[in-house]
C-alpha cells in the first residue's frame, strides 16, 4: 500500500534536514552568523552621541531608523543568499550519489522528493534567518526604540524571497555544476538588489536594471517597504500590495519550475 503523499513528504523532509545539518557548509554558516550577531551587537550599542551628515551635526537617534533598516536589510538579503547556497546541491547531490534513484524506486513521486529536498535546505536557512533577524530586531527595539512590527513583516518577505531563490537555485543545479550555481545565486541576488536600489533613487529607470526591478522578484524592495515606518524621505516605487503579490508569484513560479524540471529529467540508474 502506498503511503499518503503528506507522510512521504514528512519522512523525506526529515531526512533532508539531517543531510543538510551534516554538510560542512552549515558549520561555516554558523560561524558567520555568530560573527554577524557580534557585529550587530557592537553597532547597535553605539546608539548615542552625534555624527556629521553632509556637514550637519545630527544625533544618532535621529538616524537610527536608517541605520537599523540598512542593517536589517543586509542581513535579510544575506539570509536569502544562504538559502540559495544551501539549495544549490541539496537535490543535485542525491542524483550524483544515487540517493534519488533509491528513493524514487519506492512509490515516491518526483515532486514529493524534490519538494522535500527543498524544504530540508529551507529549514536550515529559515533557522539561520530567524536567529539573525530576530536578534537584530530585539537589539534595535531595545537600544534604538524601533518597533518590532515592521521587522516581523520584513522577515516574512525575506522568507518568501528565500523560497524563490532556493527553488531557482535548486532547479539550476540540475543543469549546472555547484560552483556555477552558487556564483549565479550571488550574481542574481546582487543584480536584483542593485536594480531595486536604483529604482528608489531614480524616476522610472530604464534598460536592463529597470526591467529587473519592474518584473523580477522584489527582494530588497519588499524588505524596505516593510521597514518604511523606520525610515523617511525615500520613495519606494510600487504599492505594498503589488510588491507582495509579485514576491509571492515568484515563489510559486520557482517551485513550479523546480517540479517541472525534475519531473522531466532523466535519472540514470
In a domain, 269, yes or no: no
Give a three-class secondary structure readout of the chain.
CCCCHHHHHHHHHHHHHHHHHCCHHHHHHHHHHHHHHHHHHHHHHCCCCEEEECCEEEEHHHHHHHHHHHHHHHHHHHHHHHHHHHHCCCCHHHHHHCHHHHHHHCCCCHHHHHHHHHHHHHHHHHHHHHHHHHHHHHHHHHHHCCCCHHHHHHHHHHHHHHHHHHHHHHHHCCCCCHHHHHHHHHHHHHHHHHHHHHHHHCCCCCHHHHHHHHHCCCHHHHHHHHCHHHCCCCCCCCCHHHHHHHHHHHHHHHHHHHHHHHHCCCCCC
* pLDDT (0 to 100) of residue 51: 45
* pLDDT (0 to 100) of residue 204: 64
Domain containing 172 equals: 5-263
What is the number of other CB atoms lying within 10 angstroms of the CB of residue 64? 18
* pLDDT (0 to 100) of residue 142: 86
In a domain, 259, yes or no: yes
In a domain, 44, yes or no: yes
* pLDDT (0 to 100) of residue 38: 81
In a domain, 65, yes or no: yes
* pLDDT (0 to 100) of residue 237: 66
pTM over 0.75: yes
Provide block-wise average pLDDT over 10 residues at a time, the chain (269 residues): 73 85 77 80 60 47 75 94 92 84 78 91 92 91 87 96 97 94 96 91 76 92 91 71 94 96 79
In a domain, 180, yes or no: yes
* pLDDT (0 to 100) of residue 131: 92
Number of domains in the chain: 1
Residue 118, burial from CB neighbour count under 10 angstroms (0-12, 13-18, 19+): buried
Q: What are phi and psi of 70, to 5 degrees?
A: -65, -45
* pLDDT (0 to 100) of residue 17: 87
Terminal-to-terminal C-alpha distance of the chain: 24
In a domain, 21, yes or no: yes
Structural contact between residues 236 and 224, judged by C-beta atoms closer than 8 angstroms: yes
* pLDDT (0 to 100) of residue 47: 52
Rg, Å, the chain Cα set: 20
In a domain, 268, yes or no: no
* pLDDT (0 to 100) of residue 233: 59
Amino acid at each position: 500500500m502506498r503511503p499518503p503523499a503528506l507522510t512521504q513528504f514528512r519522512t523525506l523532509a526529515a531526512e533532508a534536514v539531517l543531510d543538510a545539518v551534516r554538510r560542512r557548509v552549515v558549520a561555516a554558516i554558523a560561524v558567520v552568523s555568530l560573527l554577524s550577531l557580534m557585529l550587530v551587537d557592537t553597532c547597535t550599542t553605539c546608539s548615542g552621541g552625534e555624527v556629521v551628515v553632509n556637514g550637519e551635526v545630527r544625533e544618532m537617534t535621529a538616524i537610527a531608523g536608517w541605520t537599523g533598516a540598512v542593517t536589517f536589510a543586509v542581513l535579510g538579503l544575506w539570509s536569502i543568499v544562504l538559502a540559495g547556497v544551501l539549495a544549490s546541491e541539496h537535490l543535485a547531490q542525491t542524483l550524483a550519489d544515487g540517493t534519488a534513484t533509491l528513493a524514487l524506486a519506492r512509490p515516491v513521486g518526483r515532486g514529493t522528493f524534490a519538494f522535500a529536498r527543498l524544504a530540508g535546505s529551507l529549514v536550515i536557512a529559515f533557522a539561520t534567518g530567524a536567529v539573525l533577524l530576530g536578534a537584530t530586531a530585539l537589539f534595535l527595539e531595545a537600544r534604538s526604540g524601533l518597533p518590532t512590527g515592521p521587522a516581523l513583516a520584513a522577515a516574512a518577505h525575506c522568507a518568501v524571497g528565500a523560497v524563490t531563490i532556493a527553488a531557482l537555485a535548486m532547479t539550476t543545479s540540475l543543469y549546472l555544476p555547484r560552483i556555477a550555481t552558487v556564483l549565479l545565486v550571488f550574481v542574481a541576488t546582487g543584480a536584483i538588489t542593485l536594480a531595486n536600489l536604483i529604482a528608489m533613487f531614480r524616476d522610472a529607470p530604464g534598460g536592463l536594471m529597470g526591467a529587473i526591478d519592474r518584473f523580477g522578484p522584489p527582494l530588497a524592495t519588499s524588505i524596505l517597504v516593510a521597514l518604511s515606518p523606520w525610515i523617511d524621505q525615500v520613495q519606494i516605487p510600487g504599492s505594498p500590495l503589488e510588491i507582495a503579490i509579485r514576491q509571492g508569484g515568484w515563489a510559486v513560479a520557482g517551485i513550479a519550475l523546480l517540479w517541472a524540471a525534475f519531473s522531466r529529467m532523466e535519472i540514470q540508474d
